[in-house]
Amino acid sequence: MKKRQQEVQDSYKENQTSVEIDDVPMYRSYGVTKKVNPIARKIRDFLAKTVTALLLISELALILITTSMLAFYTDVLIATILFIILFSIFFYNATKLLRRRASFIRKLKKTCKVNGYRLNVKRGFFKALTWAEDSSVDFTVKAGKWTYYVKFATSKRYLSSFTFISKNQMKYTKIARKNRFSIIFDLRDRTHIMPIEFPMGIDDNDKYTVRAILINPAVMNIEKKGSDGVVIPTGSGEKMFGYTIYTGTGFIETLKRNA
């Protein structure tokens, strides 16, 4: 009996020692993958980008070849119409970011005009496509007793995510597409940290003053990191770390409710 008790005590001590040595919660180790040589990763990324560029060039070349052949065998007018249609489809996809941002700006101006809000644009249309790493904001809105200081968070593709880590940082992730190229070149999600800073002098105690991060166009995932390290989904209207997260539609609806 004493021998059995001694074995139980020894086992308990071993477990305690193991916890002291590795006290990182289990969830923090989820998704750990094999390390890859940085040089090899850069080579694979370069090859993947090259292949993607070649595919785009091939698509345009195929459009030109197809329409050229049709010009010989059919009426030139028909070939021209087909070329315009095919090129329009290609151009439509290539300019998706610009069209969605322009659409949001039109809705924002219309909402402010209808409700008598004061819109003050701080950064131009194209400059606002890049993240303002300093204390600059892209625009402000004075909506009655509410004042919004807004920074655009822009993603070129829907397949990406923004994770809000702290008051001063957020993480942008380009999620690797799951296709033959991601398998061949071992493509992984690519992330980088973006600093968050708002202008000095904003009254923290004024509940009608809002620091806003506006995600437009929309992305697949919007997340935040809790105090325990767990990353959880969030969405438009969520308040965290002293600022509020909005999507384009969510921000417009908020302005309308203020009216």
Q: What is the pLDDT of residues 107-133, one digit of tens each?
A: 999 999 999 999 999 999 989 999 998
Q: Give 138-177 pLDDT, tens digit per residue.
A: 999 999 899 999 999 999 888 899 999 999 999 999 887 6
Strand, coil or helix: 192: strand
Q: Which of 257, 250, 243 is nearest to 216 (CA)?
A: 250
pLDDT at 48: 67
Alpha-carbon gap, residue 207 to 61, rounded angstroms:
57
User: What does residue 110 show for φ and ψ, rounded to 5 degrees?
Assistant: -65, -45
Residue located via tokens 């807004």: 150
- Whether the full predicted model's pTM is greater than 0.85, yes or no, is no
Cα–Cα distances in Å, from 77 out to 71, 135, 222? Answer: 8, 54, 48
- pLDDT band at 102, cuts 50/70/90? very high
Closest CA to 235 of 208, 215, 259, 255: 215
Q: Residue 228 gets which letter from DSSP?
A: T
What pLDDT score was predicted for residue 183? 55
Mean confidence (pLDDT) of the chain: 78
Strand-pair category, 118-121 with 139-143? antiparallel
Closest CA to 44 of 186, 177, 189: 186
Structure tokens at 186: 């071992």
Selection from 165, 169, 214 nearest residue 196 by Cα: 169
Q: Is the pLDDT of residue 77 over 80?
A: no
* Token pair 């010009």: residue: 71
Which has more confidence, 251 or 50?
251
